[in-house]
Amino acid sequence: MVMESSPFMQSISFLLLLFPLLGFLAIGLSQKQINKKLSGIIASSFVFLNLILTFILFWYVSTTNQTVETNLFDWIKFANISIPFAITVDRLSALMLLVVNGVGFLIHVYSIGYMKNDEGVSRFFSYMNLFIFFMLILVLSSNYLMLFIGWEGVGLCSYLLIGFWYKDHANNNAAKKAFIMNRIGDLGFLIGIFMMFHTFGTLNISEVATKASVMPSGSTALLIITLGLFAGAIGKSAQIPLFTWLPDAMAGPTPVSALIHAATMVTAGVYLVARSSVLFVLSPVTMNLILVIGIFTALISGLIAIYQNDIKKILAYSTVSQLGFMFMALGLGSFSGAMFHLTTHAFFKALLFLAAGSVIHALNQEQDIRKMGGLRKKIPFTFALFAIGAIAISGIPPFAGFFSKEMILSVAYEHGMGMGIIATFISLLTTVYMFRLLFVAFYKPESDAVKANHHIHESPKVMLIPMALLALLSMVAGFIQIPALFSTNVNAFSTYLSPIFFSAHQLVPASGQNLNVLTEWLTLLIPLTIIAALVYISYIRFAKDRLSAELSGIQKVMANKFYIDELYDFCFVKPTEKLSLFFRETVDQSVINRLINTIGNATLYIGGRIRLLQTGNVGFYLIIMVFSIIAILFFNLIR
């Protein structure tokens, strides 16, 4: 696999890591001196440089089908362990590079406008550049340990940025929650890495894949490794049971939610599974687990999203739901489907978050959609962009979401009719909560709060233009992969990724039966009809009337997020607190403290007794000395 890559491409891939690090250091070290405006421009321009480099690399790997391998330095090397700090650019990482740097750049530019009046703007941009740096390490790493560093690094940046407004204690708690829940998953990831090293003797991603491909399907070692890696993915990508941190993570600034908690970091779990596709296809148990968890996550968070009232919370649950959808695709073995949805989702979810940020900006930090309404006329550009995002995510043709969802849905239908219907139902949930949000926030008669607020204003160009570009991408990105039903020729995306998943698909060929054309048309048209109906119903229900105040039965359960937070609080947080209290009050005070004090007191007492031997009488000392010497000699003699 390792071939001579061109030195030019190698240095480019190295610069990819260097630029954001430089940006972080430059802005981070001169926070106090640097001009507020300048820091945003510096940060954005470094990411822009990265974007240019990414285009070059993308062009290179997609035309030559070569992998750019760059060994920066030997990192861990002793005995038979050799873990170099090396970066690999292949087609999969080039795709992620495009997403990270492309969406990252647009969000950086947007942030210049959004964070303009914040006092910590330099700190913000230094963290953002640090995030890009770690995300690139994650994406570019050639071995799992380096990937883990990037993995932890983005977790750190996520923590720093969720708690960015650290003066509010709730934000700090949300940051801690995110970090700790991620740690639970990371433990699994670490165990997976250890097990991998134990089994294969290497952590290099391609070597592991090569060695694993000769192993029998379903072996215990592979099961443990994949379960461990998937545990990491569960934490990072906010799947059941570790998903409750993501909605809380909305405490951070909105661009952060767009970049880290929608477009890039949370998709790292999907990337990890796709990256280790060979390992996962050889472990059917894990694949089924991924499928089940993906379905349940998508279902539950989709249902929760319908009854939320905070604009960012709705989007957060929507993100969890879409991630669940991606994991479902992974579980069905459609790695390119998951990656395709990851890419399009990055575009339209970032767009939705940025548009939501624009709304929040316009309404002076108001996030409750019940206090919005009628914004369609007040901020028309934001409305148009938000609507594009909503249409794209709902899977309405011809926007991007339709194509990526269709790719996953067709795999689901090939897997079985029941699976297809479940998947369709999940994707229909998207329509319900997105259009509810859209109609309540933008169509409903103006709320009193909006009427009273005379400062509602459209966002500046620096915020609108990145959103417009994302909207453009959300509209056209889908056309690179058109369902086989319409045309069998346009499948640029899966062709592009096919070398990556080649060995995985060869090991376990797709088992699904092909559907006849009629069924395919039906599975395409019936959901679209339902979507149209749902949009109409939401319009009638939410755009005209006020929200019904009383929630009944199951609705209340959904509005309260299935009481999962309360459940965790009861099952884990409270017992931990009790245990801590027990250790502090009982174990520490009564056992450890008493033990230490007893030792001290005993020493004092014995010392007090022994010092009486020091009579000060020289004769006595001499006698002791002489008899001691005699005793020593005597013992030497009889020994």
Q: Which is nearer to other proteins, 214 or 604 (CB)?
A: 604
Q: Which is nearer to other proteins, 486 or 620 (CB)?
A: 620
The structure tokens listed for 240 are 């059941």
Q: Which is nearer to other proteins, 79 or 612 (CB)?
A: 612
Instruction: By CB under 8 A, name the binding residues for other proteins.
Output: 611-612, 614-619, 622-623, 626
**DSSP type of residue 146:** H
Q: What is the CA radius of gyration of the chain?
A: 30
Q: Which is nearer to other proteins, 166 or 634 (CB)?
A: 634
- Return all residues near 317 (Cβ < 8 A) that are at least 6 apart: 247, 301, 302, 304, 305, 308, 433
Q: How far is the CB of 635 from other proteins (least distance, A)?
A: 18
Q: Which is nearer to other proteins, 567 or 622 (CB)?
A: 622
Q: Evaluate whether 426 touches 321 at the Cβ level (below 8 Å).
A: yes
Q: How far is the CB of 156 from other proteins (least distance, A)?
A: 59
Distance (Å, whole) CA 310 – CA 371: 10
- Helix axis angle for 335-362 and 461-476, nearest 10°, is 150
Q: Which is nearer to other proteins, 216 or 619 (CB)?
A: 619
Q: Evaluate whether 474 touches 405 at the Cβ level (below 8 Å).
A: no
Q: Which is nearer to other proteins, 549 or 612 (CB)?
A: 612
User: φ and ψ at 519, to 5 degrees?
Assistant: -60, -40
Q: Which is nearer to other proteins, 529 or 614 (CB)?
A: 614
Instruction: Label residues 183-196 b or e (16+ Cβ within 10 Å = b).
Output: ebbbebbbbbbebb
Q: Evaluate whether 400 touches 474 at the Cβ level (below 8 Å).
A: yes
Q: Evaluate whether 260 touches 318 at the Cβ level (below 8 Å).
A: no
Q: How far is the CB of 613 from other proteins (least distance, A)?
A: 9
Q: How far is the CB of 626 from other proteins (least distance, A)?
A: 6
Q: How far is the CB of 624 from other proteins (least distance, A)?
A: 11
Q: How far is the CB of 621 from other proteins (least distance, A)?
A: 8
143: helix, strand or coil: strand
The structure tokens listed for 350 are 């970032």
Q: Which long-range contacts (CB under 8 A, 24 or more apart) does 16-19 make?
A: 16/50, 16/53, 16/54, 16/57, 16/87, 16/97, 16/136, 16/140, 17/87, 17/133, 17/136, 17/137, 17/140, 19/46, 19/47, 19/49, 19/50, 19/53
The structure tokens listed for 404 are 């990526």
Q: Which is nearer to other proteins, 180 or 623 (CB)?
A: 623
Q: How far is the CB of 598 from other proteins (least distance, A)?
A: 25
Kindly list the distances between the CA atom of residue 57 and the CA atoms of 182, 216, 244, in Å, as whole numbers in the listed order. 31, 36, 37
Distance (Å, whole) CA 272 – CA 186: 13
Distance (Å, whole) CA 385 – CA 105: 18
Q: How far is the CB of 615 from other proteins (least distance, A)?
A: 7
- Return all residues near 609 (Cβ < 8 A) that are at least 6 apart: none
Q: How far is the CB of 638 from other proteins (least distance, A)?
A: 19
Q: Which is nearer to other proteins, 476 or 622 (CB)?
A: 622
Distance (Å, whole) CA 105 – CA 91: 21
Q: Which residue reads 């089924």 in tokens?
A: 288
Q: How far is the CB of 80 from other proteins (least distance, A)?
A: 58
Distance (Å, whole) CA 490 – CA 502: 19
Q: Which is nearer to other proteins, 529 or 615 (CB)?
A: 615
Q: Which is nearer to other proteins, 167 or 609 (CB)?
A: 609
DSSP string, 517-529: HHHHHHHHHHHHH
Q: Which is nearer to other proteins, 533 or 623 (CB)?
A: 623
Q: What is the dihedral of CA 549, 550, 553, 556, to 10 degrees?
A: 40
Q: How far is the CB of 637 from other proteins (least distance, A)?
A: 15
Q: Which is nearer to other proteins, 32 or 611 (CB)?
A: 611
Q: How far is the CB of 617 from other proteins (least distance, A)?
A: 5
* 397: preceding bond cis by omega (within 30 degrees): no
Distance (Å, whole) CA 312 – CA 389: 14
434: helix, strand or coil: helix
Q: How far is the CB of 599 from other proteins (least distance, A)?
A: 23
CB atoms < 10 A from the CB of 77, how many? 11
